[in-house]
Amino acid sequence: MRRVMLGAVALAAGIWGCGGKSSGSDAGNTGGSTGAVPQSGGGGAGGPTGNATVSGVIHFTGTAPTNPKIDMSQESACAGKYTSPPTDPQYVVKDGKLGNVFVYVDSGVPNGAKYSAAAADTIDQNGCLYHPRIFGAVVGEDIVIKNSDNVLHNIKAVPKVNRGFNISQPSAGMTSKRTFASPEVMVPLECNVHGWMHAYVGVLPHPFFATSGEDGSFSIKNLPAGTYTIKAWHEKLGTQQTTVTVGAGETKTADFTFSGPKA
Amino acid sequence: MATTATGTTPFTYDHGHEHVDDRSFIRKYIFSTDHKIIGIQFLIMSLTFLLLGGMLAMVMRWQLGFPGKPLPGGTLLPDTYTSGGVVLPEFYNSAVTMHGTFMVFFAIMPLLVGVFGNYLIPLKIGAPDMAFPRINMASFWTAVPAGLLMLAGFFVEGGSAAAGWTSYAPLSARSDLTGVHLGQIFWCVSLIVLGLSSIMGSFNYITTVINLRAPGMNWFRLPLSIWALFVTACLVLLAIPVLSGAAILLLFDQTIGTHFFDPQAGGQPLLWQHLFWFFGHPEVYILILPGMGMVSDIIANGARKPVFGYTSMVLAIIAIGFLGWGVWGHHMFQSGMNPTLGTTFMISTLLIAVPSAIKTFNWLGTIWKGQITFHVPMLHALAFVSMFVIGGLSGVFMAASPFDIYIHDTYFIVAHLHYVLFGGSLFAIFAAVTYWYPKMFGRMMNPTVGKVHFWLTLVFYNCTFFPMHQLGLHGHMRRIYDPTQYAFLKDLQPVNTFISISAFLLFATQFIFAANFIMSWFKGEKAPNNPWLDNGLEWTLPSPPPHGNFATVPTVYRGPYEYSSPHSDQDYIPQNVPTPGGGYGAPHTQPAGD
Amino acid sequence: MGNFLSWMLPPGASTFVGDIDWIYYLILVVTGVAFFAVEIALVVFLVKYRKRPGGKATYVHGSTRAEIIWTSVTAVVVVVIGLLSAPAWDKIKGREGVPPNAMPIGIAAKQFEWNITYPGADGKLGTTDDFTVRGQLHVPVDKPTVATLTSVDAIHSFFVPSFRIKQDAVPGMHIRVWFQPTKVGEYELGCAELCGLGHYRMRAIVTVHTQEDYDRWVAQQAHAVAQR
């Protein structure tokens, strides 16, 4: 009887003490980018890298569609951060250039090569919008999710291949870390408290990707010499691809042109 | 086997094996078929879950009392639960869910049915053990993995179930809506397994009460605790399979792609609610009836008087058990079900207040003109009556369906359910544990410590739950992580803080009971056979009773509440003591012409 | 301060206050009487009948007469409460209870927002001048509005405490809920059914306008729709 008692007390203590895995949320805030700033995959320690570069410009022809207005009146803490009514930046078009196009190496990287990212990517919730909206991450890389708004955001990943997650951050300053274990282009992220918030992350087994900036430019660096299929993905305008061969130390250009929907 | 013949020699069993108890330690205390040991095993398991359920309530109350402030110890928890020590909304929902689940299924129900059903039934009816001792053992050892599985939910990805203890579909069926996948699955499987444990227990109890009563123990000489446990067992046998069925359907929706509750594929969310509450309402009577029965035993003992209106008390227990099947829709008044059902369920719900009222008046009648001794179990039993009245009366407000429109899913409901489950069931459990502790462990619990625990609990308990009525009347919804999000609730924040502080003090006070329980086991005053001078058959045996209970089968001569009878110069006569002058003692039924 | 210890209901702003609040006060009085009677009797008995040296308890098993009296009184009281409450239930929730001239709106609940569709200037839902607004319920005062309530994902519950109205929003069902506000002003709408991690924040603002202001608001919204 005594033993059963002690066992029960120990069980209770063990359950209380053991918690679950304790991964702290003290991720470094490096590599963050806001808006449509060109982002390149970082690091690459592990798998083969080189010093070739594929860069280019994403052009846009036709009329740029108007981005829809966002009614943020219910979230004064966010609405107050804007001087003019916010819009949902689905199309980032300036002077015939298209930003927020995710450009990546689809094939050509040796199979089984394992890359790790040098630094974690950060996605920030600010003004009830995701910054960046489009970005890439290496398989297994920490994605740090930060809340700069003093309101509840939840960040829900809705992947098809990977396991999803749905986590909340009720107040400003909170950070969380997540990773994806399998390549998937693109994994949608959304907030259910603010239904207009969308972001997309391209998960790749290597760091050879970039997002075009407002000026349409992108640059994929540190490629080993080889022949690669390069794809460019836009959330509304679909995917285009091209093939590029680079030698060691070479820089090659790969431009893409997307056209706006028929007026 | 049980005869009511007068003057026959009581027959004996072959007790040869009993005088030499050569069972191994494992057979005696771990895999035991002895109902008394199984009862104590359930006691330890349930008290552990009571503690865990209480801890989860502390997490909730911390967040409600001090929204957004880091939980003490919160940084020790994984970052899926807290961020910088602050409770996250999904962990809050998980705490809400698991608090209810642990308390209902793994604390209160096993404490009443598993502990006292097991411990008391054979002893109080004069039997050597349950009808099916090995099934009894299986019942306990099935409950344990169910409990462990439920606990395991906290340690898997996505965390534990978080859709409320009521687990409404489609929230509970779709992991994309909660972020919880395995945890919800474990919830279903755990309850299916626990259901097996309960069903095994229930038909054991029913068979035992029907078949193994000692000679002279006719139905209307059974203590009310046994009547209540018997009717409860019938409810368990009929209601738990409904929950199991519902949980299986939900499990299938969660795992193998069925759509029972998915409207996009022809399923119906309301189906879950009907199934769950068809079980759920009898379940709440399962959670109160044994307490009512044991409180009757204890109050009669404390007042040194027969129970007032024994037959009505029995009929009221049966009426509650029976009528309880017809009221489930009152949980669904606002659910979107056909409004006509709202009216019919309102009437049936209002009617079920009647048998509970009868019992309350009869408890008052029992202490009227008594000689009341305020021993610790009596204190808790009286608190039961007092608090249960509040809980029962608050139920009238929600039975009136138009007013339920306003208070459904608010803290008014939370106040009501805690008044009946804590103010009712838990005080009854404290009363019963303290009362039967000497018989179980051969030691008395310390009465001074018991009284301190009682008074502090009573005060902090009312400070915690009474103001919740007011919160509900102001429209404070249930299960909300941060009430300050609403302007109409912001001003109520001081009430929430007061409730939280009271709750922390209430929780801390329970360690006094735990300390008393543990210390008395080793150091308590040795208990005589009959410390409370009670008439029940268990008090004729040593404390604790030997394996096999009665050396010879007792013969019962009267009911269990013959206190202060003119047939004896003591103020009690045990049921198995022949009446001086031969024959059988005065029947318990109400004397004619009263 | 005494406000939140009060048993009074907070002020309301719809016709349902007249239908519901009195039922509450009736039950409060009845249960209050029962509460004081029982608790006072309990305390009196505990004091009066505590054990005294040499005292003897009265050996009585009950009283059939008393049982009959208190059982029937209780039964009559509860049945009367039920009969008195039934008409209000039919009026508010009954399918026949919806006023025929009520302005129709659509409310689609989803994690974690309320999307309210207005019929526009033609007053009819399902036409091209309908528009949807997130998180804002605008209605004219002293006129009935009937909302067809549904959910896109989990079960939510439409709760406006000041209007004394609550109705679960169930996916796959279209449930009509009506109300008639009586006071111009701003009120809150909250979700009253656990629906996920954002449940506690699933809030909307209810604005009751004069008919003029309401028409002006509708025109504004219609203008904005046309702009898109």
Q: Give the nearest chain C residue to B490 (CA atoms).
A: C4
Query: Across the interface, do A170 and B55 touch by the CB < 8 Å criterion?
Result: no
Q: Which residues of A fall within a CB distance of 8 Å from C133? A: 71
Q: What pLDDT does residue B20 have?
A: 64
At residue C147, the 3 state secondary structure works out as strand
Q: Cα separation of A233 and A242, whole Å?
A: 12
| DSSP structure class, residue C169 | E
Q: What pLDDT does residue A34 have?
A: 31
Q: Give the nearest chain C residue to A66 (CA atoms).
A: C228
> Is-contact A156 A192, C-beta < 8 A?
yes
- The mean pLDDT values, 10 residues at a time, for chain A of 263 residues are 53 44 32 36 65 92 89 88 92 92 90 76 94 93 93 92 89 89 94 94 93 93 91 94 91 91 62
Rg, chain A, Cα only: 21
Q: What pLDDT does residue C103 have?
A: 95
> Is-contact B567 B579, C-beta < 8 A?
yes
Q: Which residues of C fall within a CB distance of 8 Å from A68? A: 228
Query: Across the interface, do B76 and A19 touch by the CB < 8 Å criterion?
Result: yes
> How many residue pairs from chains B and C have C-beta atoms closer than 8 A?
308
Among B194, B188, B265, B202, CA closest to B230: B202
Q: Give the nearest chain C residue to B382 (CA atoms).
A: C42
Query: Across the interface, do C89 and B343 touch by the CB < 8 Å criterion?
Result: yes
Q: What pLDDT does residue A45 have?
A: 53
Chains that touch B (3 or more CB pairs under 8 A): A, C
Q: Which of A68, A71, A166 sits opposite C134 (nearest CB)?
A: A71
A259 or B464: whose pLDDT is higher?
B464
Query: Rounded mean pLDDT of B126-138?
Result: 97
Q: Establish how many alpha carbons lie within 13 A of residue B75's alpha carbon, considering only the half-sphere containing its beta carbon.
A: 6
| DSSP structure class, residue B171 | T
What Cα–Cα distance (Å) separates residue A151 from each residue in A36, A128, A179, C201?
Answer: 24, 9, 24, 10
Give the start-to-end residue ranges of the domains of chain C: 11-95, 100-227
B240 or B586: whose pLDDT is higher?
B240
Q: Which residues of A fall within a CB distance of 8 Å from C228? A: 68-69
Q: Which of C136, C198, C228 sits opposite A152 (nearest CB)?
A: C198
Q: Is the dihedral of CA B273, B275, B277, B278 positive or negative?
A: positive
Q: Which residues of A fall within a CB distance of 8 Å from B83? A: 25, 169, 174-176
Among A66, C199, C54, CA closest to B478: C199
The one-letter amino acid code at B77 reads L
CATH top-level class for C100-227?
Answer: mainly beta
Whether chain B has a CB inside 8 Å of the CB on C185: the answer is: no
Among B207, B211, B189, B195, CA closest to B139: B195
This model of the complex carries an ipTM of: 0.96
**Is residue B54 pLDDT above 70, yes or no?**
yes
Summarize pLDDT for A17-51 with one digit per residue, the tens. Answer: 343 333 333 333 333 333 333 344 444 457 788 88
Token pair recorded at residue B521 = 């086991």
Q: Which residues of C fall within a CB distance of 8 Å from B162? A: 197
- Domains of chain B in sequence order: 23-540 (1.20.210.10)
In Å, how far is C117's CA from the nearest CA of chain A? 14
**Is residue B465 pLDDT above 60, yes or no?**
yes
| DSSP structure class, residue B474 | T
In Å, how far is C91's CA from the nearest CA of chain B? 9
Query: Across the interface, do B405 and C170 touch by the CB < 8 Å criterion?
Result: no
Whether chain B has a CB inside 8 Å of the CB on A25: the answer is: yes
Q: What pLDDT does residue A111 have?
A: 77
Neighbours of B514 (CB within 10 A): 14
- Phi then psi for B426, rounded to 5 degrees? -70, -40
Neighbours of A63 (CB within 10 A): 12
Helix (H) or strand (E) holding B532: none
Supply the pTM of this predicted model.
0.90
Question: Which residue(s) pair with B105 in the sheet?
Answer: none
> Is-contact B584 B217, C-beta < 8 A?
no
Q: Which of A5, A166, A171 sits opposite B44 (nearest CB)?
A: A5
Chain Cα centroid distance, residue B137: 20
Task: State what percent of residues in chain A have pLDDT above 90.
Answer: 55
Query: Across the interface, do A22 and B84 touch by the CB < 8 Å criterion?
Result: no
Q: Which of C5, C90, C199 sits opposite B479 (nearest CB)?
A: C199
- The mean pLDDT values, 10 residues at a time, for chain C of 228 residues are 75 95 97 97 96 92 95 96 95 92 96 93 88 94 97 97 97 96 97 96 95 93 71
Over chain B, what is the mean pLDDT? 93
Q: What pLDDT does residue A1 have?
A: 52
Q: Which of B170, B362, B400 sits opposite C81 (nearest CB)?
A: B400
Summarize pLDDT for B274-317 with one digit per residue, the tens. Answer: 999 999 999 999 999 999 999 999 999 999 999 999 999 999 99
Q: Which of A1, A152, A168 sits opposite B29 (nearest CB)?
A: A1
Q: Cα separation of B182 and B302, whole Å?
A: 49
Q: Cα separation of A204 and A182, whole Å?
A: 8
In Å, how far is A126's CA from the nearest CA of chain B? 18
Strand duo A52-61 + A217-223: pairing: antiparallel
Q: What pLDDT does residue A112 have?
A: 75
Query: Across the interface, do C175 and B164 touch by the CB < 8 Å criterion?
Result: no
| DSSP structure class, residue B423 | I
Helix (H) or strand (E) holding C32: helix C16-48
Q: Give the nearest chain C residue to B570 (CA atoms).
A: C56
Among A192, A209, A167, A181, CA closest to A41: A209
**Is residue B67 pLDDT above 80, yes or no?**
yes
Task: Give me the architecture of the C11-95 domain, per CATH.
Answer: Orthogonal Bundle (1.10)
Whether chain B has a CB inside 8 Å of the CB on C69: the answer is: no
Q: What pLDDT does residue A22 have?
A: 33
Burial of B289 (0-12, 13-18, 19+ CB in 10 A): buried
Q: What pLDDT does residue A35 have?
A: 31
Query: Across the interface, do B84 and A152 touch by the CB < 8 Å criterion?
Result: no
Q: What pLDDT does residue B364 have?
A: 97
Q: Cα separation of C97 and B402, whole Å?
A: 13
Q: Which of B176, B259, B409 to mutate to test the interface with C (most CBs of C within 10 A)?
A: B409
Task: State what percent of residues in chain B have pLDDT above 90.
Answer: 89
CATH top-level class for A27-259?
Answer: mainly beta
Interface of C with B in 7-36 (CB under 8 A): 7, 9-10, 16, 19-20, 23-24, 27-28, 30-31, 34-35
Whether chain B has a CB inside 8 Å of the CB on A22: the answer is: yes
Q: Which residues of B fall within a CB distance of 8 Å from C198? A: 89
> Is-contact A168 C197, C-beta < 8 A?
yes
Q: Give the nearest chain A residue to C111 (CA atoms).
A: A192
Query: Across the interface, do C58 and B479 touch by the CB < 8 Å criterion?
Result: no
In Å, how far is A252's CA from the nearest CA of chain B? 43
| DSSP structure class, residue B443 | B
Q: What pLDDT does residue A6 have?
A: 53
